[in-house]
């Protein structure tokens, strides 16, 4: 790590990071995004992402929290900054004093690493970064092969999305595409399409998810488009016993994903 400490808020590297932090257009044009925190940066390194630059505030960083791999990156790509500069750059309050500019890694439908019995989560037009981050976290926990975002309404490198995913934004392959492209891909791969909807649907736990499966969910406000309803092999629903007719999309996604886990460990749906 360079011994010189960056103390000016007008430093070109600091200004570049702030722009990447604030503007999705800058992230797209530069092919870079920002990640804060020891845990998140460690996860992205493990997943094969390449760091462009690391900024470290020694006043806020504990060597005990830094992994060996991250320590090596700090030696080769790290820059020291003052507490004032770090606070200007940071999106979050507590990120252990380390923030990184990371090179983008783009997945496509064609190079998704799918298992023999594929398990895919599809989200159509989900717009809240926090919801998407929570879904990615559940997808990692449930062992999903990939998350496909159709017609996204949020930047997939939004800082709030990365924060709420707790590193799962890097451990789970994530692809953005159109609904038509996704439907064609799933059909070609022989992956059954299960759409989560209230109308003309069967209970999720009575539906076979042991074969290659894509769980498809839409927004809480409008649900799924007609294209998905027509393309579906099955329509599934979560029973709602109370007065409210729907759950938060991230909660619903977690319930359905862990039903895949349950069925594949017990070999079948409930009858």
38 Cβ partners below 8 Å, 6+ apart?
Answer: 61, 65, 66, 67, 70, 95, 96, 98
pLDDT in the model for residue 217:
94
Instruction: Name the domain boundary from 58, 80, 103.
Output: 103
- Is pLDDT of 222 > 60? yes
Q: Which domain holds residue 168?
A: 109-266
CA distance 192 to 120: 10
Of 134 and 126, the structure prediction assigns the larger pLDDT to 134
pLDDT in the model for residue 53:
94
CA distances from 209 to 101, 120, 157, 179, 189 (A): 39, 11, 30, 22, 16
What value does the mean pLDDT take over residues 238-254? 90
- Is pLDDT of 17 > 90? yes
pLDDT in the model for residue 197:
87
CA distances from 138 to 114, 141, 144, 177 (A): 17, 5, 9, 21
In a domain, 271, yes or no: no
In a domain, 74, yes or no: yes
Considering only CA atoms, which of 112, 109, 257, 260 is closest in space to residue 183? 109
Instruction: Name the domain boundary from 82, 103, 124.
Output: 103
Among 65-79, 175-189, 244-258, which stretch is predicted with the lowest mean pLDDT?
A: 65-79
Q: Are residues 190 and 253 in the same domain?
A: yes
Considering only CA atoms, which of 110, 181, 183, 175 is closest in space to residue 148? 175
In a domain, 184, yes or no: yes
- Is pLDDT of 141 > 90? yes
- CATH for 86: 3.30.1330.30
Q: Are residues 83 and 115 in the same domain?
A: no
- Is pLDDT of 2 > 60? no
By DSSP bridging, strand 146-150 and strand 119-124 are: parallel
What radius of gyration do the chain's Cα atoms show? 21
What value does the mean pLDDT take over residues 24-35? 94
34 Cβ partners below 8 Å, 6+ apart?
Answer: 17, 20, 21, 91, 99, 100, 101, 102, 157, 159
């Amino acid at each position: 790590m360079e011994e010189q400490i960056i103390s000016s808020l007008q430093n070109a590297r600091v200004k570049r990071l702030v722009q990447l932090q604030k503007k999705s257009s800058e992230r797209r044009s530069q092919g870079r995004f920002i990640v804060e925190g020891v845990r998140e940066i460690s996860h992205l390194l493990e997943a094969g992402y390449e760091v462009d630059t690391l900024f470290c505030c020694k006043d806020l960083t504990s060597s005990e929290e830094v992994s060996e791999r991250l320590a090596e990156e700090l030696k080769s790509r790290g820059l020291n900054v003052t507490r004032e500069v770090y606070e200007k750059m940071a999106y979050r309050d507590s990120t252990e004093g380390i923030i990184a500019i990371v090179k983008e890694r783009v997945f496509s439908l064609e190079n998704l690493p799918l298992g023999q019995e594929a398990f895919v989560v599809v989200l159509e037009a989900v717009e809240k970064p926090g919801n998407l981050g929570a879904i990615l976290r559940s997808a990692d926990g449930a062992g999903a092969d990939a998350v496909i975002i159709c017609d996204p309404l949020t930047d997939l490198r939004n800082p709030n999305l990365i924060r709420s995913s707790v590193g799962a934004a890097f451990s789970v392959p994530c692809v953005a595409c159109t609904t038509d492209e996704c439907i064609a891909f799933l059909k070609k791969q022989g992956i059954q399409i299960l759409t989560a909807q209230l109308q003309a649907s069967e209970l999720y736990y009575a539906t076979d998810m042991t074969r290659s499966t894509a769980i498809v969910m839409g927004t809480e406000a409008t649900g799924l488009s007609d294209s998905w309803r027509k393309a579906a092999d099955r329509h599934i629903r979560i029973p709602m016993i109370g007065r409210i007719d729907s759950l938060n999309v991230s909660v619903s996604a977690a319930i359905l994903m862990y039903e895949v886990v349950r069925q594949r460990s017990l070999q079948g749906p409930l009858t």
